[in-house]
Amino acid sequence: MVKLYIKPSCKVCQKATKYLKKKKIDFEELDILVSPPAKKLLEKAVDANDPKSAFNTKSTGYKEHGIAEATFNTKKEVVDLLRSNPDMIRRPLLARNEKAILGFDEADYATFLR
């Protein structure tokens, strides 16, 4: 089952939704603020080499927590922070079979969904 975690007002999320519908891919759409992704799923999505890429740089929390200047010692720190502040998760999050990717890029989606 494919799941797409979105924020309904997010323009990029709307593009991802449109793409999946155009490709006739069955998916479940979830509001990331109402039903945040499970910890295990976020662990798959966060890149250990570039954990800051998992953050939505436009979110209020990103600025409030000073993420741009922050240093994270472990991936767990990032995942825990995102779990407690789902609005800071880069959107959309596409999940399938225990794997996940953040953001939207048609080529990445095509490869991920093969």
Task: Tell me what pLDDT residue 69 has.
Answer: 95
Instruction: Phi first, then psi: give them for residue 37, nearest 5 degrees.
Output: -65, 150
Task: Tell me what pLDDT residue 79 has.
Answer: 96
Q: Tokens 């794997």 correspond to what residue? A: 99
Residues of the chain with pLDDT under 70: none
- Kindly report, residue by residue over 27-58, the tens digit of the pLDDT: 999 999 999 999 999 999 999 899 999 999 99
Task: Tell me what pLDDT residue 21 has.
Answer: 98
Instruction: Phi first, then psi: give them for residue 20, nearest 5 degrees.
Output: -65, -40
Q: Tokens 């789902």 correspond to what residue? A: 86
How close are the terminal C-alpha atoms of the chain, in Å?
13
Amino acid, res. 20: L
